[in-house]
Amino acid sequence: MQRVAVIGLGNIAKRHRYNLKQLFPNATLFALSASGRTPKADVSDCDHLVSDIEALLAARIELAIVASPAPFHAEHALPLVSAGIPVLIEKPVVTEGSDIDSLIAAAELSGTPVAVGYCLRYLPSAQKMHQLITEQKLGKLYNINIEIGQYLPDWRPGKDFRNSVSANAHLGGGALNELSHELDYARWLFGELCVKAAILRSSDAFNLNVEDCVDLLAISEHGVVASVHMDFLQRAVHRCCRVVGVEGALEWDLLKNSIVFYNSNGSEILYAEPEWSKSLMYLEMLRDFIRMIKGEAHHCISLGDAGKTVRLIQKIRDKACLGNLTR
């Protein structure tokens, strides 16, 4: 790769620029602000700052990462996909079902490689969980409990969280979109989910125009009952998945990158690599996308797959009761 680009100037875009420079140190890297505005500060790991998509097309870039706010993903990606430029799109791929249809149609027409950045699938413990579920370590499954919580003001130190993507509806914020990794891996591990009930709440802790707390009850395509909790409220970061089956239970701690098996005989650590850097999963995701571009075997998340998560989010919203959550 000699010419690569990243659209967006937020934290995740900064990570992608750094990783592209690690993989392609001699490549020219172009950066584009999602809004088109010229940033006041210098942009790290950037050789050229451009003002629009047309400049990227004129530069004949060979790969682009779209890391703008989700409502603008289709707008930024479609011209590149139509021009045959491979594109990796950050999650959630879009916020509207019509946009995913447009992207799929453009990718099929042009034959352009396009993938979606649900990087958690590249976490080693996630891959081990996939193996254990596939091999039916627990036998018949009964219940799935998924939980993630993190205090929103702590996400981006030094920045007012109220101005962040996460906190604003017009930028695709809210817990459902921002924490959709959990919905993606639930589908990946356990199959499609049928939503039975959902509650979306906005606390008076932040007074946002988006939900900061989500509770979901669903049944998997295999008849397993799943409960999912997601919030922006927990002061201590918490991210885990517990699966109960006829042979015992698996507790997956995504923060510790560990899996513990429990049964009547006690507990057994099946996987533990707590010192593993989460930066590596972003690098592996990018390497996997390169394999996809080269036509080699890969595990990239397709537009169709990611689109099912978008439609699941819409079904949750359609099914949801809305409410306020007091402190």
Listing DSSP states for 201-259 in one string gives EEETTT--SS-SEEEEEEEETTS-EEEEEEES--SS-EEEEEEEETTEEEEEETTTTEE
Strands (E), the chain: 3-7, 28-32, 48-50, 63-66, 87-90, 114-117, 141-149, 193-203, 213-220, 225-231, 238-245, 248-253, 258-263, 266-272, 320-325
pLDDT above 90 as % of the chain: 90
The confidence score (pLDDT) of residue 326 equals: 44
301 bridge partner residues: 116
User: Residue 38 in contact with residue 46, Cβ under 8 Å?
Assistant: no
The confidence score (pLDDT) of residue 170 equals: 93
Question: What is the identity of the amino acid at 2?
Answer: Q
C-alpha–C-alpha distance, residues 123 and 271, integer Å: 12
Q: Report yes or no on whether pTM surpasses 0.85.
A: yes
Task: For residue 158, name the pLDDT band (cuts at 50, 70, 90).
Answer: confident
The confidence score (pLDDT) of residue 324 equals: 59
Cα radius of gyration (the chain): 20
Question: What is the identity of the amino acid at 113?
Answer: P
Q: Walk me through the domains of the chain, giving residue ranges and CATH numbers.
A: 3-117 (3.40.50.720), 120-276+309-325 (3.30.360.10)
Render pLDDT for 88-106 as a digit per residue (tens, 0 to 9).
Answer: 999 999 999 899 999 999 9
